[in-house]
Amino acid sequence: MYYNITMNKTKYKLFSNEPVTLNENSLIMAIESSCDETACAIVKGGREVIANVVASQIKIHEEFGGVIPEIAAREHLEAINVVIDETFKQAGVTGKDVTAFASTVGPGLVGCLLVGMNAAKTLALAYDKPFIGVNHLNAHLAANFIDTNLEPPFIALLVSGGHTQIIKVSSFSEMEIIGETIDDAVGEAYDKVARLIGLPYPGGPKLDKLAQIGNPHAFKLPEAKVGGYDFSFSGLKTAVLRLVKSFDGKEMPVNDICASFQECVSSTLFKKVKHALEETGYKQVVLAGGVAANSEIRKKIFSLKDEGYDVYAPIMKYCTDNASMVASSAYFFNNTFDDINVEVFSRA
């Protein structure tokens, strides 16, 4: 799959043909509301964060064991004006100073996305500024542009709750997904395994923490033999289920199970990424997505530095959903401003 984008820094406003040029001084205000964070940020020149505000709903969804879309959308409605006001306050600017407004338009939960998109469109209309609709996955990649000098070409490993992809980024205007999961995403596999061993939501970070004090070689778990750069994690999940059942009510070595699972996942990701680097000849690798915060995955990917590669990953607060990455993506990856009729979408 290709994202064919013709990058042109001269763009056009929402309701006129008046050209607007984005440059290193351009301020983009972005909103993120694709799942369970209501976020707003202002970023200068695609790289310098002027303000970054996030209102998380994790505590609200904990009692349900996962995100409830209707509740999430209602919480976004409650929080959206507060985070926007706080962002303007932190930045010390008004809407008149903003060059363009942006929001995530998908993939994500439709009801949640609509809250952020409609807020951003309203601001664009109110201040007569352009609007930019941003792909959530591109935004995770763009988190690596914040406070760095990173430019393509590079190989990106995108790991999140809903996606696991290896992306060949040849330029700001050309990206190709060369590998992806054929079943469970990494984050999804983490959450399912966490539930199997009795960890509460959100299970992924808790599993990672337990894995750090376990033996990663205690249990030999299977790596799926999938061709090319693709992944499969459903078999691994099933293997963990069988392992858990084998204890038949006896005390489980939970830390060792977590560590063995995490070792299998991180090794699989590492091998595929290294293969992609060798085949393309690229010397830069980028880690992106919410699961990029995982300690062992970061460790494995950063070990590529020892083999002469430049490795990038966002700092922790930009791994999970935030609006700074949305603003950066709007600046670097979007080739045109969008009109009032742009719609949200749920799947990539």
Q: Check residue 20 and give its pLDDT.
A: 55
Q: Check residue 132 and give its pLDDT.
A: 94
Q: 246: Cβ–Cβ under 8 A, 6 or more apart, which residues?
A: none
∠288-62-237 over CA atoms, to 5°? 60
Q: Check residue 319 and give its pLDDT.
A: 96
Q: Check residue 95 and give its pLDDT.
A: 98
Residue by residue, pLDDT tens for the chain (348 residues) are 333 333 344 444 444 434 457 899 999 999 999 999 999 999 999 999 999 999 999 888 888 888 999 999 999 999 999 999 999 999 999 999 999 999 999 999 999 999 999 999 999 999 999 999 999 999 999 999 999 999 999 999 999 988 999 999 999 999 999 999 999 999 999 999 999 999 998 899 999 999 999 999 999 999 988 989 999 999 999 999 999 999 988 899 999 999 999 999 999 999 999 999 999 999 999 999 999 999 999 999 999 999 999 999 999 999 999 999 999 999 999 867 888 788 999 986
Task: Please give the Cα distance from 241 to 251 (Å, whole number).
Answer: 15
Task: Please give the Cα distance from 179 to 174 (Å, whole number).
Answer: 16
Strand pairing partners for 284? 310
Q: Check residue 62 and give its pLDDT.
A: 84
Instruction: Kindly give the pairing relationship between strand 48-56 and strand 164-171.
Output: unpaired
Going 95 to 114 to 346 to 64, the CA torsion angle's sign is: positive
Q: Check residue 66 and give its pLDDT.
A: 86
Q: Is 92 exposed, middle or buried (0-12, 13-18, 19+ CB in 10 A)?
A: exposed
Strand pairing partners for 287? 157
H or E, element range at 63: none
Strand pairing partners for 70? none
DSSP codes, 92-156: T--GGG-SEEEEEEESS-HHHHHHHHHHHHHHHHHTT--EEEEEHHHHHHHGGGTTS---S-EEE
Q: Check residue 8 and give its pLDDT.
A: 42
Within the chain, residue ranges assigned H as helices are 58-62, 69-91, 110-126, 136-142, 186-196, 203-211, 234-246, 254-280, 295-302, 316-319, 324-332
H or E, element range at 169: strand 164-171
| Residue with token string 């080739």 | 335
Q: Check residue 5 and give its pLDDT.
A: 34
List domains and CATH numbers for the chain: 2-146+320-332 (3.30.420.40), 154-313 (3.30.420.40)
Q: Check residue 179 and give its pLDDT.
A: 98
Is residue 232 within 8 Å of residue 226, measured between CB atoms? yes
Task: Please give the Cα distance from 330 to 80 (Å, whole number).
Answer: 20
**Residue 207 structure tokens:** 């599993």
Q: Check residue 161 and give its pLDDT.
A: 87
| CA-to-CA dists, residue 211 to 176, 208, 337, 347, angstroms | 33, 5, 45, 31
Task: Please give the Cα distance from 217 to 200 (Å, whole number).
Answer: 25
**Residue 133 structure tokens:** 């609709």
Peptide bond into 107 cis (omega under 30): yes
pTM greater than 0.85 (yes/no): yes
Residue 81: helix, strand or coil by DSSP?
Answer: helix
**Residue 85 structure tokens:** 């006001």
pLDDT in tens, 278-318: 999 999 999 999 999 999 999 999 999 999 999 999 999 99
Q: Check residue 1 and give its pLDDT.
A: 32
Residue 241: helix, strand or coil by DSSP?
Answer: helix
Task: Please give the Cα distance from 286 to 140 (Å, whole number).
Answer: 10
Instruction: Kindly give the pairing relationship between strand 154-159 and strand 48-56.
Output: unpaired
